[in-house]
Structure 1
């Protein structure tokens, strides 16, 4: 496989991860996509190791924003990393108000698994 093909494959993997983990609300995919020693440098509760904290975090997001949906606006791959710019939209279950927040996420891949994550996310803002 050429370098360009591998980079495209990595971007597809990350796009599919967002689709399954967020949009299809399949939290169990964490066990498939994350390495057992996955390190999330920017988990809301602090740095975490393993797929379980990410799985629990997304399950809480599914409750808070039952219609949560993420759109990957851009994906850039280099070496073993994929950077995405995305927009999240949903309805806050406690207020009924539509929200939107944006983020940049840098993923590091190894042996077909996500091994590290860094993220910057804007605070949710209400939308019409």
Structure 2
């Protein structure tokens, strides 16, 4: 593959990654699901989802818990068939999440997702985020304090 082809592929994959975020922010889940391959696999903290419908279930779970959720892209890096996305999720905890009813508390959660692409679709996604900070924000866990 020539350098020009790699540059083009990197740009296309980054644009697709941004489009997924746009679909979440605009609640266009049908369009977002269509950007994922039938054999797509998501791996996140304690979670695994498969296929476009699995992606929709994942996003719906978070939108039900945080109806005003917005994802803000902080950084996008592409290399070959992979894109690393650093983003911040912000919202208000109004619905159930992991057995915890809505608290009305605001959350800001830093996240990193690495996606792999093939034939213009997302085929794999590995995501990490500040789970501890999320649960501290909604009052499920006490905040850590440093003693000097």
TM-score of the two chains, using structure 1 as the length reference = 0.88
Unpaired runs of 5+ residues, structure 2, are: 95-101, 139-148
- Greater fraction of residues in strand: 1
2:40 paired residue number = 38
- Structure (1 or 2) with the larger CA radius of gyration: 2
Superposed counterparts of 1:1-128, under 5 Å: 2-20=5-23, 22-42=24-44, 46-93=47-94, 94-123=102-131, 124=134, 126=137
Matched-pair contact (CA < 8 Å) for 2:73–2:87: yes
Question: What is the alpha-carbon distance in structure 2 between the residues aligned to residue 45 and residue 54 of structure 1?
Answer: 15
Unpaired runs of 5+ residues, structure 1, are: none
* Dislocated runs of 4+, deviation >6 Å: none
TM-score of the two chains, using structure 2 as the length reference = 0.77
Q: 1:45, CA displacement in angstroms?
A: 5.6
